[in-house]
Amino acid sequence: MQVSETGTEMQTTEDRPDAPQTGRRAAGEDPAKREQILDGAKRVFMEQGFEAASMNDITRAAGVSKGTIYVYFENKEDLFGYMIERERRRLTETVRHALDSHKPIGETLQEFGMLFATHITADHTIRAMRMVIAANHRLPTLCSRFFSATPINPVSVLQEYLDRQVAAGIVISDDTAHAAKQFIELTTVGLFKPRIFGSMEEVPSKAAIERNVTSAIRVFLAAYGAKP
């Protein structure tokens, strides 16, 4: 607020709530700051687990004030949920690039399956899933948020690809969403459950994942591939 020569108050551009912001983001709208907080939170959650992690720990790891964190996220549960959603979005974008309709379907599914199965059996993914399951008794909404389908996810992008293959006469299916889920499950048969429940402590080798994916493609195309 400024005062004119006559002593009356003059409202400046910065004082008006409807004035456009030039070079300054409103609180909670800086993407870089949000990513900085999520990166710090991920380090803490992966090192300490969900229950043991504190907002003070996350504050230090992210290099921001606690007040800044609460501008972007309601609480620790909200922060963890957004971290999981970010990782899922990154995986989705990665596997989406593998779904090239110009390549043979077997080659495309091989690349997609390798990327997905490698990610889902990785240490950081398994730890995150275990954290959610462990917290389910106290925070059931967090577990529901973790496993609920989002509009864009690995299943949805694979379904879009299969829809194109159906249109091209390469795949025969009247329920490509279900077919996409089946293929994804096939890529991790004998790998994911042993990993999540601890009977397979080591990350599966690339060769083991490749054998799994190759078998998944053979079964999938036997069921859904158009016959010559």
For the chain, what are the domain ranges?
28-73, 77-228
- pTM for the structure as a whole: 0.77
Q: Which CATH superfamily is domain 28-73 in?
A: Homeodomain-like (1.10.10.60)
**Cα–Cα distance between 85 and 83 in angstroms, integer?**
5
**Cα–Cα distance between 42 and 48 in angstroms, integer?**
10
**Cα–Cα distance between 90 and 209 in angstroms, integer?**
20
Please determine, looking at this structure, whether the domain spanning 77-228 carries the CATH number 1.10.357.10: yes
pLDDT in tens, 16-45: 434 334 444 566 679 999 999 999 999 999
Question: Does the pLDDT value for residue 149 go beyond 90?
Answer: no
